[in-house]
Amino acid sequence: MKKEIILASNSPRRIDLLKHMGVDFKVVSPNVEEEGNGEKRSPVEVVKKNAIMKVQKVAEDYRNAIIIGADTVVVIDGEIIGKPTNEKDARRILRKLRGRYHFVFSGVAVMETPEDKVLVSVVRSKVKMRDYSEEEIERYIATGEPMDKAGAYGIQGKGALLVRKNRR
């Protein structure tokens, strides 16, 4: 019996990525409480744990599948920054990142059921933000894009205009 491929995420970016790869898959929201915001522990461990929690949660209902889960956090000054809680928080985060380097950690977990084998990988990128204005912050927040993004910006979207350079 062929295994179903399931993306344990509602992320439009991750959905688009799999679509562009020509993968036939189903989207299932994992409904887990992510860890990370304000944590002082290893960002590698945070994104690994969150990605694994997502695939394990979805695996409870799909016993013949390949399940893909992912998580991303931003780290600056040793602080792990996840998604903003509201517009005020997004403003605070974008001000903190302005004109500075920070790191983005992305973890991906892939589980095959019913064997429950899990493979996990983490990538770290170094990103430098432009010295953008308060007006640019307000315009960007008004798009709504920062609200579901770690670090309050998405480099794949309008947030790319806030970035000066990106490297691994």
pLDDT per position as a tens digit, 24-83: 999 999 989 887 766 567 999 999 999 999 999 999 999 999 999 999 999 999 999 989
Segment 127-140 shows an average pLDDT of 97
Residue bearing the bigger pLDDT, 139 or 31: 139
Q: How confident is the model at residue 51, as a pLDDT?
A: 97
168 versus 11: the higher-pLDDT residue is: 11
Looking at residue 66, its amino acid is I
Which two tokens mark 104? 């983005």
pTM: 0.91
By percentage, how much of the chain surpasses pLDDT 90? 84
Which of 71, 77, 89, 116 is catalytic? The answer is: 71
| Contact indicator for 102, 129 with CB cutoff of 8 Å | yes
Q: So what's the pLDDT on residue 123? A: 97
Angle at 56 between CA 32 and CA 40, to 5 degrees: 55
pLDDT given for residue 137 in this prediction: 98
Q: Kindly list the domain boundaries of the chain, sorted by start residue.
A: 4-167
The answer to whether 24 is a known catalytic residue is no
Residue 161 has pLDDT above 60, yes or no: yes
Q: What is the CATH number of domain 4-167?
A: 3.90.950.10
Within 8 A by CB and 6+ apart from 17, the residues are none
